[in-house]
Chain A
Amino acid sequence: MKVSGKTGFLVVLAVICAGVIGTLATVVNTYPSGAPAETIDWNLTLIGNGGNEKILTFDELKELPSYEGHGGFFSTVGMKYGSFECKGVLVEDLCTLVGGIEPLNTLWVSAPDGYLMVFTYDQVRGDIITYDPATLREMPHTDLKMILMYEQDGALIPEDDGRPLRIAIVSSNDGFVTEGHYWVKWVNKIEIRTPGR
């Protein structure tokens, strides 16, 4: 069958367009965040109440048993963030690696930007006030966990949100928020202390 010049041109154009679409689809599917996968060079220092120390790389942290849940928070001016799908390691499990945390201990969580937050034993075990996201009125909630999050919504935490490690208060149920100052970003040190030391 003889193909006319015009038809042949249209066929070639169709092939080029199909190729373009195929390439775009490949890029989107391969790099949903627009960037290739990266290695994370980050260390987390754990210090127990007795002074014993353990350093975990990011990859070592990810190999520990993980916990997944929903969580969101609000800022001091009432801006709400989340709910996020959070995956990380239970903070209580991290404490166990350096001797555990006791009721009289406090947990000092710090970041290289100079931020520090101190938590009570009860808070580490999930005893944290939760709020209705719509009204910021306190609401009861059970099943809260404090985790050291390394994945947010299925991907690495965005840089501005505290990559690679952030404290998150999560639950298997959704529909609550907690105070934002608990969600320490860029965590690089967790220390168990006894108040007054």
Chain B
Amino acid sequence: MVRSIHLVAGILILIFIAAIVMGMAVYQPDSHDETKLKVICAGSLIESFYEFEKEFENKHPGVDVQVEGHGSIQVIRHVTDLHKEVDVIAVADHSLIPDMMYPEYADWYIAFATNEMVIAYSNQSKYADEITSDNWYEILKRPNVTFGFSNPMLDSCGYRALMVTQLAELYYDNQTIFDDVVACNFDPAIAVSTNNDTCIVIMPEIFEHKTEKIVIRGGSIQLLAFLDYGEIDYAFQYKSMAQQHGLQFVDLPCEIDLSSTESEDIYNKFIIQLGFQRFTSVGTERSGKPIFYAMTIPNSTQHPKLAVEFVKFVLSEDGQGILHNTKIPPIYPMADEPGNIPDELISMGIIYGPETFTLL
């Protein structure tokens, strides 16, 4: 009798444990103890922002920072078109934030870092010991040299590559550079038109190269593998990507590398008109501008205080150190609409206003 009771009790305990296990397999409750902070950034910032994620979580137990990387326009579309809950965004083209987000989705940004265009290469590249900032376009023209850049339709690094070759014509006083280096390799041809003193590169609907001299891929990251394996000699890249990947690179003059505010008037003279409107929320023209990374907190953030803390961290000395270590040159933070910046950021005492460059 006692034995049968023990047997039944044992079976009951096993059944109870099995029921709990099955219940857990079906139902996975959210952890209510952790706050999720959603951060979406441009692809060239991903290494930096993974570091920000790690350090911010160390300083804020109970916060789960979720970082995602995309093209800059896609970053913003997560808020404006896909209506996702995003707490902080950071893009590689500061002008996209007012163009796509103001006033409904945001009303300020802070520029916090910069970058520049370079010609990246490896030890295996032909004429690696010969290429300089004075002769790079001559080297790229050589019949046995191959190079690549990302598709301007899909990646800002791609249309910036075209801007660099156009700007090079002005800087080196040589009106054949764009044709000889880039345009001659495409079918249909890439047309260039001039309107007053503005030069417009008109991309075809389908961007297909007709020679094996050039490699075009959707993202500049794919070109890194090409360089690694010696499958191309050179690639137009952001300097940070070249450095992060341990590549050599040609430093270009600031008049053409899109790094300098002093050359902004010159950059503005060159426009790339894309072949089709990939996103209805932004037009098809991309004009030359200095490269600035900028971030903002969307109006729809669910965690405004925490988002401000994250932005503060990026702008802090520790944050600037992370940017420096991940090869993204930090700048003195600059706000476009000082009146709209959260007070907690103003009180840092490090943010400059626009135009006059005075501290806020």
Could you tell me which A residues sit within 8 Å of B by CB distance?
4, 6-7, 10-11, 13-14, 17-18, 20-21, 24-25, 27-28, 34, 75-79, 106, 108, 113-118, 120, 129, 131, 135-138, 179-181, 195-196
Contacts and interface: CB of A to CB of B under 8 A. Distances in A.
Contacts of B219: 76-78, 179
Contact of A14 (B4, B11, B155, B276): B11
A155 to B, nearest CB: 17
B46 interface: yes
B12 A14 contact: yes
Contacts of A78: 219, 221
B172 interface: no
Contacts of A7: 4-5, 8
30 contacts: A7-B5, A13-B12, A17-B19, A21-B22, A24-B22, A28-B25, A75-B43, A75-B70, A76-B43, A76-B69, A76-B71, A76-B154, A76-B221, A77-B46, A78-B219, A106-B206, A114-B81, A115-B77, A115-B81, A115-B278, A116-B278, A129-B217, A137-B225, A137-B229, A138-B225, A179-B218, A179-B219, A179-B222, A180-B218, A195-B206
A116 B15 CA distance: 55
Contact of A136 (B4, B15, B25, B225): B225
A10 B11 CA distance: 10
A25 B11 CA distance: 19
Given A77-B43, A118-B275, A137-B229, A25 B8 contact: no
Contacts of B69: 75-77, 79
A116 B208 contact: no
A135 B226 CA distance: 11
Interface string B203-221: 0111010000000011101
A20 B19 contact: yes
Nearest to B9: A10
Contact of A113 (B26, B70, B81, B218): B81
B12 A17 contact: yes
Interface in B136-153: none
B140 to A, nearest CB: 21
Contacts of B275: 118
B331 interface: no
Given A76-B43, A76-B154, A118 B22 contact: no
B281 interface: yes
Nearest 10 pairs between A and B by C-beta?
Answer: A114-B280, A77-B69, A77-B43, A76-B219, A17-B15, A179-B218, A10-B8, A195-B205, A113-B81, A24-B22
Contact of B154 (A17, A24, A27, A181): A181
A34 B225 CA distance: 41
Given A24-B26, A114-B281, A77 B12 contact: no
Nearest to B69: A77
B235 to A, nearest CB: 14
Given A21-B19, A24-B26, 5 more contacts: A4-B1, A14-B15, A75-B69, A78-B219, A196-B205
A15 to B, nearest CB: 10
Interface in B1-28: 1, 4-5, 8-9, 11-12, 15-16, 18-19, 22-23, 25-26
B4 to A, nearest CB: 7
B26 to A, nearest CB: 5
B319 to A, nearest CB: 20
Contacts of B217: 129, 179
Nearest to B41: A77
B279 interface: yes
A93 B138 CA distance: 48
Interface string B77-101: 1000110000000000000000000
A141 B338 CA distance: 54
B12 A116 contact: no
A24 B229 CA distance: 54
A75 B154 CA distance: 11
Nearest to B74: A76
A3 to B, nearest CB: 11
